[in-house]
């Protein structure tokens, strides 16, 4: 080893020690931030308590409503598609079924044979328009048929389509309408005694009669009722202004609308009005007016408005949580990326086997910490439905071997043995999302290690056939001799933030996210996962994932020495590094120097633009998140401003310390040509530089 190489190694080691010291300070800062996070969590708990109160309030309103209320699933992905997902007490009472019975039924089960086709078309209309009011018939458990009016609204809750229908028995109204057509005197007698308000107009839409119940509803006297209807209720109706001169456009149909009025005691009242055309004279086609039934829907409206408000609050809370997770992950990732970057550079220096082993162990530990951070981000993505499965070529045996080796420092070798077995006939080259399969294994093997203090842990991977000859199911089984799980507790462990509480398990800590994420991942990869309690002691975790077979023979070649990653560059590149973190600047400069390229530094986008005014560069490495001017806006100015026309075609590679859903799309939309996550892998950067610069040269 030359003196120069020795000095370089010592300098690198000194830098690592400096970075470790910096990391300790950062961790102290993070501890304080975690204390702040605990305060935020307390606030979140308060929010949850408030949400529970609101939910209980909704449930009370839901069950105290005078009308029957149904909630029906319209989500085709849901196993309960088309079935009732909730009903109130009035619905159960009016139909004669228990709540449990109704939750196993669909609206079609309650429909008469004549109404089934019409109800299906109404459901399609509801999906298309978002709300609908219609009349139909429902069959009681004892066989009797009741006509009802349903006011339905489509809702989206937790990403699932639902509709809420508020059903009112309209038997009395239909009888009233029939009686009205038979006898005006009988109609007047009935109208004066019903709870709903009944009023009529003449052919010019001038109110003529208002039932006495209008006073009970609004507190407005009979002589002022007509003026209130003219000024507040009729103007909100769907009747066109030229109805009095043109033929009535709603002949044979009921017309529904809602209005908001103020009572004499200054209360806000929501009312619903349902209008029908009055019978015409036998010897004339002249429009004679409308008859209207108006009722109080304040309770129903309050429920709908509160549901909408709750939906908006939940969305805002979800957005705030995602932003918080992204920011926190960036704060933790930045110093860790510095450590991993320096460790990566150390592997390029002259090291003996022992030093290389230590650096490899430190790198593995750092990557494990990043994996935990990724778990938190993945949960956020899964919750938002934005986690994507990205199949790629990978080598199964190498991936498993590397994973098992990463747990060496976690296993007490004197008391616990960790080993793996892979069936020989499983091809080594497969196509699937290697990152997600490794994440599944990391969580399940990590759990086994956490709860096993003595004995052994075995990872077995077998092959199961599928109908598709180009695919197989990989079955992974993790068997441990740990403390096991209580009887009946396996399924609970897959719930969010859940850990089985026993006296023996209180000493084990965790987030309660891992197994839930595992289940979500295997479901998206066409598989299943389950936990079983072993007969004697310990636990067996079994999962399956679908993978594609590639036309290659199985192999398990092993190369213990680090593979060379640097080659002589095709030409020396002049690169502009736009990065605000000092440690990342050092790492990028060192990597580019190792690759044989020159580099210039800019600590923010504004400095980068100033440098581009008077200098030319072959490639720009652009950090996304920076003070003063961030990477996205800087790229937009370079690509769109005439001031930087000469720099417009310089390839720009985005660098980011975290990867939330949509980050890559935002970078590409701004005009960036590539995307790399920190810590920057030397191989990946070298390949990206070659690809972008060769493409550029071919286009010149």
The pLDDT of residue 640 is above 60: yes
Q: How many domains does the chain have?
A: 5
Q: Which of 194, 221, 377 is nearest to 292 (CA)?
A: 194
**In terms of domains, do 534 and 416 share one?**
yes
Q: Is residue 505 part of a domain?
A: yes
Q: Is residue 12 part of a domain?
A: yes
**In terms of domains, do 441 and 486 share one?**
yes
For 321-345, the DSSP string reads HHHHHHHHHHHHHHHHHHHHHHHHH
**In terms of domains, do 616 and 691 share one?**
yes
Of 125-129, 406-410, 447-451, the least confident: 406-410
**In terms of domains, do 423 and 548 share one?**
yes
Kindly report the three-state secondary structure assignment for every residue of 142-188.
CCCEEEEEEEEEEEEECCEEEEEEEEEECHHHHHHHHHHHHCHHHHH
Please give the Cα distance from 675 to 685 (Å, whole number): 10
Q: Fill in the DSSP letter of residue 111.
A: B
At 245, the pLDDT band (50, 70, 90 cuts) reads: low
Of 190-194, 228-232, 431-435, 650-654, the least confident: 190-194
Angle at 245 between CA 241 and CA 248, to 5 degrees: 75
Over residues 31-43, mean pLDDT:
76
Its pTM stands at 0.40
How does pLDDT run across 506-541, given as a tens digit for each residue? 444 444 566 878 888 898 888 999 888 887 788 899
CA 607, 612, 614, 618: dihedral to nearest 10 degrees? Answer: 130
Give the phi and the psi of residue 571 in degrees, each rounded to 5. Answer: -155, 160
**In terms of domains, do 522 and 617 share one?**
no
Q: Which of 237, 252, 181, 179 is nearest to 207 (CA)?
A: 237
How does pLDDT run across 541-590, given as a tens digit for each residue? 999 999 998 865 444 443 333 333 333 445 789 999 999 988 889 999 99
Q: Which domain-ending residue is among 336, 368, 400?
A: 368
CATH number at residue 473: 3.30.565.10
Please give the Cα distance from 286 to 305 (Å, whole number): 41
Radius of gyration of the chain (CA): 35
CB-side exposure of 35: number of CA atoms within 13 Å? 5
Q: Is residue 303 part of a domain?
A: no
Q: Is residue 375 part of a domain?
A: no
Buried b (16+ CB within 10 A) or exposed e, 325-354: bbebbbebbbbbbbbbbbbbbbbbbebeee
For 114-147, the DSSP string reads TTHHHHHHHHHHHHHHSEEEEEEEEE-TTS-EEE
Q: Is residue 452 part of a domain?
A: yes
Residues 6+ apart with CB under 8 A from 335: 19, 22, 23, 26, 583
- pLDDT value at residue 256: 86
Please give the Cα distance from 251 to 232 (Å, whole number): 24
Buried b (16+ CB within 10 A) or exposed e, 413-444: eeebebebebeeebbbbbebbbbbbbbbbbbb
**In terms of domains, do 199 and 275 share one?**
yes
How does pLDDT run across 308-331, given as a tens digit for each residue? 888 888 877 777 776 676 666 667
Neighbours of 281 (CB within 10 A): 9
Q: Would you call 319 helix, strand, or coil by DSSP?
A: helix
Residue range of the domain that includes 203: 173-296
Q: Which domain-ending residue is among 246, 262, 296?
A: 296
At 700, the pLDDT band (50, 70, 90 cuts) reads: very low
Q: Is residue 50 part of a domain?
A: yes
Of 28-32, 98-102, 684-688, the least confident: 28-32
The pLDDT of residue 607 is above 90: yes
CA 665, 515, 440, 534: dihedral to nearest 10 degrees? Answer: -170
Q: In DSSP terms, which residues pair with 430 in a beta bridge?
A: 394, 549
**Helix, strand, coil % in the chain, rounded to nearest 5:** 45, 20, 30
Residue bearing tokens 């996962």? 529
CATH number at residue 625: 3.40.50.2300
Question: How many residues does the structure list for the chain?
Answer: 700
The pLDDT of residue 234 is above 60: yes
More confident residue, 471 or 694: 471
- pLDDT value at residue 462: 94
**In terms of domains, do 220 and 314 share one?**
no
Q: Which domain-ending residue is among 152, 167, 182?
A: 167
- pLDDT value at residue 133: 85
- pLDDT value at residue 78: 58
**In terms of domains, do 233 and 245 share one?**
yes
The pLDDT of residue 113 is above 80: no
CATH number at residue 238: 3.30.450.20
Strand ranges across the sheet with 160-169 = 84-87, 68-73, 160-169, 145-157, 131-139
Q: Would you call 655 helix, strand, or coil by DSSP?
A: strand
Q: Would you call 262 helix, strand, or coil by DSSP?
A: strand
- pLDDT value at residue 22: 82
Q: Fill in the DSSP letter of residue 347.
A: T
Helix (H) or strand (E) holding 605: helix 605-614
**In terms of domains, do 216 and 83 share one?**
no
How does pLDDT run across 470-509, given as a tens digit for each residue? 899 999 999 998 887 766 555 656 555 445 554 444 444 4
Q: In DSSP terms, which residues pair with 259 in a beta bridge?
A: 271
Please give the Cα distance from 152 to 304 (Å, whole number): 10
Please give the Cα distance from 505 to 499 (Å, whole number): 9
Residues 6+ apart with CB under 8 A from 477: 458, 459, 460, 461, 462, 540, 541, 542
**In terms of domains, do 57 and 135 share one?**
no
Helix (H) or strand (E) holding 668: helix 663-670
CA 547, 548, 552, 557: dihedral to nearest 10 degrees? Answer: -20
Q: Is the Cβ–Cβ distance between 196 and 294 less than 8 Å?
A: yes
- Of the chain, the end-to-end C-alpha distance in Å amounts to 44
Peptide bond into 679 cis (omega under 30): yes
**In terms of domains, do 556 and 607 share one?**
no
Q: Is residue 622 part of a domain?
A: yes
**In terms of domains, do 13 and 136 share one?**
no
């Amino acid at each position: 080893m030359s003196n120069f190489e020795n000095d370089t190694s010592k300098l690198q080691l000194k830098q690592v020690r400096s970075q470790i010291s910096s990391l300790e300070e950062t961790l102290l800062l993070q501890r304080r931030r975690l204390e702040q996070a605990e305060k935020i969590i307390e606030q979140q708990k308060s929010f949850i308590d408030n949400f529970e109160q609101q939910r209980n309030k909704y449930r009370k309103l839901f069950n105290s409503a005078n009308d029957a209320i149904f909630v029906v699933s319209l989500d085709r992905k849901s196993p309960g598609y088309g079935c009732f997902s909730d009903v109130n007490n009035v619905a159960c009472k009016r139909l004669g079924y228990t709540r449990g019975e109704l939750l196993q039924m669909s609206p079609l089960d309650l429909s008469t044979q004549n109404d089934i086709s019409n109800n299906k078309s109404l459901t399609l209309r509801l999906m298309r328009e978002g709300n609908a009011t219609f009349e139909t018939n429902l069959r009681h458990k004892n066989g009797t048929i009741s006509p009802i009016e349903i006011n339905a609204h489509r809702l989206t809750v937790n990403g699932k389509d639902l509709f809420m229908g508020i059903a009112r028995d309209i038997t009395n109204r239909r009888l009233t309408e029939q009686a009205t057509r038979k006898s005006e005197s009988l109609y007047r007698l009935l109208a004066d005694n019903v709870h709903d308000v009944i009023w009529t107009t003449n052919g010019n839409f001038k109110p003529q009669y208002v039932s006495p119940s209008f006073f009970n509803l609004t507190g407005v006297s009979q002589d002022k009722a007509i003026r209130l209807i003219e000024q507040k209720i009729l103007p909100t109706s769907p009747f066109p202004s030229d109805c009095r001169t043109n033929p009535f456009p709603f002949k044979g149909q009921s017309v529904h609308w809602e209005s908001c009025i103020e009572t004499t005691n200054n209360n806000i009242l929501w009312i619903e009005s349902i209008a029908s055309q009055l019978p015409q004279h036998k010897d004339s086609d002249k429009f004679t007016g409308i008859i209207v039934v108006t009722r109080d829907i304040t309770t129903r409206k309050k429920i709908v408005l509160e549901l909408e408000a709750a939906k908006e609050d939940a969305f805002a809370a979800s957005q705030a949580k995602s932003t918080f997770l992204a920011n926190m992950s960036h704060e933790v990732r930045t110093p860790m990326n510095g450590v991993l970057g320096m460790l990566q550079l150390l592997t390029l220096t002259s090291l003996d086997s022992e030093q290389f082993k230590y650096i490899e162990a430190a790198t593995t530990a750092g990557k494990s910490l990043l994996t935990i951070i990724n778990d938190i981000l993945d949960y956020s993505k899964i919750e938002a439905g934005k986690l994507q499965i990205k199949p790629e070529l990978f080598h199964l045996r190498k991936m498993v071997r590397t994973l098992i080796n990463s747990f060496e420092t976690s296993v007490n070798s004197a008391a616990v043995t960790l080993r793996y077995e892979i069936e020989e006939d499983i091809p080594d080259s497969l196509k699937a999302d290697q990152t997600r399969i490794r994440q599944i294994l990391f969580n399940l093997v990590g759990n086994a290690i956490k709860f096993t203090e003595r004995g052994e842990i075995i990872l077995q991977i077998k092959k199961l056939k599928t109908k598709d000859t180009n695919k197989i199911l990989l079955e992974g089984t993790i068997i441990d001799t740990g403390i096991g799980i209580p009887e009946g507790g396996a399924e609970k462990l897959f719930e969010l933030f859940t850990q089985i509480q026993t006296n023996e398990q209180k000493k084990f800590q965790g987030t309660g996210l891992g197994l839930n994420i595992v289940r979500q991942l295997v479901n998206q990869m066409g598989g299943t996962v389950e936990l079983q309690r072993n007969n004697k002691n310990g636990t067996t975790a079994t999962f399956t994932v679908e993978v594609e077979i590639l036309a290659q023979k199985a192999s398990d070649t092993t190369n213990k020495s680090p593979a060379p990653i640097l080659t002589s560059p095709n030409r020396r590149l002049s690169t502009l590094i736009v990065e605000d973190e000092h440690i990342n600047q050092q790492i990028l400069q060192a990597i580019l120097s190792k690759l044989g390229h020159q580099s210039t530094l800019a600590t923010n986008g504004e400095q980068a633009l100033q440098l581009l005014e008077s200098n030319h560069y072959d490639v720009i490495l652009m950090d996304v998140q920076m003070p003063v001017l961030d990477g996205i806006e800087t790229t937009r100015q370079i690509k769109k401003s005439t001031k930087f026309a000469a720099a417009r075609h310089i390839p720009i590679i985005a660098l980011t310390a975290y990867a939330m859903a949509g980050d890559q799309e935002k970078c590409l939309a701004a005009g960036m040509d590539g995307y790399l996550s920190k810590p920057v892998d030397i191989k990946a950067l070298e390949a990206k530089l070659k690809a972008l610069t060769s493409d550029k040269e071919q286009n010149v």
